A and B are shown apart, each in its own frame.
Chain A
Amino acid sequence: MSAMGRISPAAAPPGGYGGTAKALHWLVAALVLAGIAMGLTMVSLPGITPTKLRLFNWHKWIGVTVFALALLRLAWRLAHPAPPLPPSVPLWQRRAAALSHAALYVLLFALPLSGYFYSLAAGFPVVYLGLVPLPEFIGPDPALKQPLVVLHHVLAWTMIALLALHVGAALKHRWVDRDGVFERMLPRRGRPSAAEDARGRTREGMLR
């Protein structure tokens, strides 16, 4: 692996994720969890109350933000490929990881999109943060309302299932495999020195 000119702190050092990738990962994770929590809560509230209306709006703002961040993450990942898994990880797990991560990326777009179009079909355009009206690609459409809400719920539960798998697998790497894979996504304490960068994978061993 050649050191190609300046290594910026945001770019991925060999064998690990860069600061930007990690920040985006945890930011999106927090927003998705908050969005799911709000979504599950708001549909369980009876009647029409100010709290319910507020939750619906915040939930939509989170969805728009996740969509935008997902675009950013995708662009970043295409420019900065993820580090390869250590050779100790068996092939079927590599495939499962690739599949589930791809599915998560797809859901990061599809879930907010389905919600967005459901909102439009229900006659409620989205005004981001209560300030910025977002495009109304479709008008109120009673026929589309039902299929779209079903789609949004199905995708949400798929996301919940995939997240459970994702978190479960991450913890398996931490507590069972102890192969340093989990630690790759944790915030680094201080900046790596050039010598540490050159050691690459060995740094993973030092973190344990």
Chain B
Amino acid sequence: MNRRSLTALLFAAAPAAVCMPASAQAVDAARSAVSATFRQMGVPVEGRFARFAGRVVYDPARPADAQARVDVEVASFSLGDPQYDAEVRKPAWFDAARFPRASFAGAGMRPAGSGWQVPGTLTIKGRAVNVVVPLAVRREAGATVFEGSLPIRRLAFGIGEGEWKDTGLLADEVIVKFRLAVPEAEK
């Protein structure tokens, strides 16, 4: 399935909670990245999501009107080892069969320190948590790039249940890092 039809499929299935206007621009997944870093007994382990899609409304002159919607296919999470990757899709973790998508829906950029903040809702494994995402905005060749990292608590989303609940083995805090490149609209 190519990326274009996957994006269409994701958004056809998306709930209508956040209606992105027609002026919203698509995130270029080829120039973007979403990853999650967790710690097992102190050792940082980073996994990347290979498949995700996003739409952004952003006008530098009116940041308060900004909107973002990012959907990530949890089954595309990879730690670089097939055994680990298969484990993470199981019900005790992402439960990818029942909850194939994790998503973020946010609106309104406001200044924070030297960068910005976007309040929104993060939904993973069917649980929605309100978050405030810190981010920085940059211009790159032909695109606006939104980058940031958000610490989340895996247990709040039920990720790593049962025998995996022990935060002495796997820390509760997981850092979600993202880099979303939104190409300039054709003029």
**Residues of chain A whose beta carbon lies under 8 Å from any beta carbon of chain B:** 47-50, 53-54, 57, 122-127, 129-131, 133, 140, 142
Q: CB within 8 A of A127: which of B41, B46, B84?
A: B41
Q: CB within 8 A of B169: which of A47, A54, A126?
A: A54
* Distance in angstroms between the alpha carbons of A53 and B46 in the assembled complex: 16
**Residues of chain B whose beta carbon lies under 8 Å from any beta carbon of chain A:** 40-46, 79-81, 83-84, 87, 163-164, 166, 169
Complex interface: chain A residues within 8 A of B42 (CB):
127, 129-131, 133
Q: Are B80 and A50 in contact (CB under 8 A)?
A: no
Q: Are B80 and A48 in contact (CB under 8 A)?
A: no
Complex interface: chain B residues within 8 A of A129 (CB):
42
Q: Secondary structure of the A side of the interface?
A: loop
Complex interface: chain B residues within 8 A of A140 (CB):
80
Q: Which of B41, B81, B87, B163 has the most CB of A within 10 A?
A: B41
Q: Are A126 and B164 in contact (CB under 8 A)?
A: no
Q: Secondary structure of the B side of the interface?
A: mixed
Complex interface: chain A residues within 8 A of B45 (CB):
123-124
Q: Are B43 and A126 in contact (CB under 8 A)?
A: yes
Q: Are B166 and A53 in contact (CB under 8 A)?
A: no
Nearest-CB residue, chain A, relative to B47: A123
**Known: A124-B43, A124-B45. Contact between A50 and B87, CB under 8 A?**
no
Complex interface: chain B residues within 8 A of A48 (CB):
83-84, 87
In the complex, how many angstroms separate the beta carbon of B47 from the nearest chain A beta carbon? 10
Q: Are A49 and B169 in contact (CB under 8 A)?
A: no
**Known: A47-B87, A48-B87. Contact between A54 and B163, CB under 8 A?**
no
Please provide the 4 A-B residue pairs with the shortest distance between their CB atoms, ordered closest to farther. A127-B42, A130-B42, A48-B87, A130-B41
Nearest-CB residue, chain A, relative to B81: A122
